[in-house]
Every structure is written in structure tokens, then in C-alpha cells.
Amino acid sequence: MRLLAPIVLLGCAPFAHPQGFSLPSRETLLYNVEWRLITAGKARVEWTATPASRTGYQMKLRLESTGLVSKLFKVEDDYTAQMSQALCIEASQLNAVEGRRQRETKITYDHGKANYLERDLAKNAVVLAQETEVPSCVQDVAGGLYFLRTLSLEPGQSTQVPVSDGKKHAMARVEAQQREDVRTPSGLYKTMRYEVYLFNNVLYRRPAHLFVWVSEDRLRLPVQIRVRMQITIGTITLQLEKHE
């Protein structure tokens, strides 16, 4: 979970939103998580428009380890985010079981402030509580997947997006790199490969690269997500198994 959310253009031509695309009112995405060529876990994303007048969205992410990986290091993460209709993050909560660690993290965003509270559930203690200034409209990392689906960039074009994890914020560059055919358990897709610059002392210190492949069809699905880290950790890949 921790490895894995106004637009300012970086010297590229203006771009339009994908023709005919609008965010879904409801959908479920199921992913297979692969690490070092073995199935390491499953991820489930549930997206729902807020019932009252479509004023916003709710996203739920369930990430859990499976098989041998689960025996070595159990992961059960549940993340919920509330977003405005413009995809600005308003509140999020993460309940994480990772190995022996059990943490609950709540973040609220209001009037340019992010209030962050992380608790150690095993010790019943506060790990970190702080207030941080953020842009009035900022995105979380998970919700940023949906923002990517609203982009229509050509290879070589890029944009910047304000992103926050509740403790800090950064302007993350999103770069369209090239078109690729990608096969996943759910089928073969024509996609655009994006690199999202969140690591290497942008939002996270860890040296890594984050790539997202978005289908170039009417659904604009994030069909593959890949995080490449140093050799000691390796590459983690999420591939779309099912779309409901």
C-alpha cells in the first residue's frame, strides 16, 4: 500500500479530455499483484459516485497478500477516500496490517490544511499527529489513478498535479511516454504508458519509478501498474483481472 493519486502544463501543447469519456458512477476493478514473477497478492478497487446529486466520489481499496508471500509477510490494507467532483481529496482512512504492524491513519483536508493522525493499534498509541499546509485542491495517490483516466496526452507531453500523502505535498509530473499493447488476464489492450514522478525525493524519498498503462478506449481503464525499485526489492506489477 505504501508503494503504491488546477492543471499546470510543462511546456507542452494544450490538451483536451478524452472524447466521450466521463468518470463512472460505479465500478469495481480487480487486480493480480505480482512480485518477482510470483503472485504476491490481490487488489480490489471500488469506485462509487456520492448518491446526493453526484457531488463527489468514494474510493475503496483492499490490498491483501496471498500464498507464500502472505506466510512470510502478511498484508491486509483497507483504504477509503472521499473526493469532490473535481477529484480533490477531502478525507481518507487507512487501516493497515503489515507483518506485525497494525496502523490506523486518518487524514482530513479542509481550507488548505491537511490534518494527519496515525495510530499504532497494537500499542494503542499515537505515532504522528500534525497539520500541514496543502493546495486548496490536492489529490491523494490512489485517487490519482482516476485523474489519469481524464487525461488525453500525446507521447512526449506532460502535466503537473498537486499530490499529498497528508504529511507533505508535491507537484508530481505526469508524462505520457508511448503507446503499447498490453495483455492482462482480462484481455489485450491498446494503451498509453504514463510515468508518474512520485519517488526520488518528490513525495517519497525512496528511489523508484511508477508506470501506469491506461487503455485508449471508451473506458480508459488503468490496466497495468508497475513500481520498479532497487534490485534488492525488485518490481511490483498489478494487472487487471476483471472489470465490473
As given in the structure block, the three cell numbers for residue 208 are: 523508484
166 DSSP 8-state letter: S
User: Which residue(s) pair with 217 in the sheet?
Assistant: none
| Spatial separation of the C-alpha atoms in residues 118 and 80, rounded to whole Å | 15
- Cα–Cα distance for residue pair 112/242, rounded to 1 Å: 37
User: 157 Cβ partners below 8 Å, 6+ apart?
Assistant: 12, 13, 15, 175, 176
Per the structure block, which three cell numbers stand in for 90?
Answer: 477531502
Q: Which parts of the chain sit beneath pLDDT 70?
A: 1-20, 51-54, 231-232
Are 92 and 83 spatial neighbours (Cβ–Cβ below 8 Å)?
Answer: no
The per-residue pLDDT for range 75-85, each reduced to its tens digit, is 999 999 999 98
Give pLDDT, residue 12: 32
Q: Residue 32 has what pLDDT?
A: 96
**C-beta of residue 189 within 8 angstroms of C-beta of residue 221:** yes
Q: What pLDDT score was predicted for residue 54?
A: 56
* Total H helices, total E strands in the chain: 2, 15
DSSP 242: E
The predicted structure's pLDDT at residue 22: 81
In this prediction, residue 10 carries a pLDDT of 29
Reading the block at residue 155, the C-alpha cell is 507521447
User: In the chain, where are the structural domains located?
Assistant: 8-243
Q: Which long-range contacts (CB under 8 A, 24 or more apart) does 235-238 make?
A: 235/35, 235/36, 236/3, 236/4, 236/33, 236/34, 236/35, 236/40, 237/33, 237/34, 237/35, 238/4, 238/31, 238/32, 238/33, 238/34, 238/43
* Residue 5: per-residue pLDDT: 31
